Structure 1
């Protein structure tokens, strides 16, 4: 094989469509643009969401809700996930190393989902009222 003998695969290349080159081409006269209207004219198009001057949908609907940009720094851990950890003392760093929370997380809260059967000591981590009661019932503590 030589460099000058390499050819593209069959069907990989297509002949460019030449519009506006007479009736015989099948794309003469209006060149596939139909008759009249904004889309038929040169330079005539519009931005995404434009509805011909009518108030666009994204502006007709009411603004609703709010998502705090600080949420990416918050994380939550279940009691089931804590029970799977082998550490007796658990802090934010231990949870990050175990892969239970995101690396960007700064505030961690334990939620009451599942059960915990052994004593764990949480430091630098908050817990919901139900989760705190479950941890303390198992002999652990929340600092």
Structure 2
């Protein structure tokens, strides 16, 4: 097999129909648009969704306030008051919190929420508290 000798499969290429090129061509004269009326005139017949002047469907139906996120970002959430049980100088990471038992499962990146007071003197954390 050579690239120069490749051919499309028989019947896979259909010839495009030439419209409006004379009566002998089969689709001549009006070109399949009929004799009279708005849809036979030059230019596109009517815009998509046109209903003859009636208020179209896309304007009649209520508009959505917002679309829900298809793939919302999930976070592993913990509040500041839960960090009180950690020993001073410990590191706040997903791995360390799961080891202590404050978090049971990993739902994504760690997010520390602000409920409660942080009573421990020093906590090292790779994320901003």
- Bucket of the pairwise TM-score, normalised by the shorter protein: 0.3 to 0.5
TM-score normalised by structure 2 residue count? 0.47
The structure that is strand-richer by fraction is 1
Ranked by relative contact order (alpha carbons within 8 Å, sequence separation 6 or more), the top structure is: 2
TM-score normalised by structure 1 residue count? 0.44
Q: Which has the larger radius of gyration?
A: 2
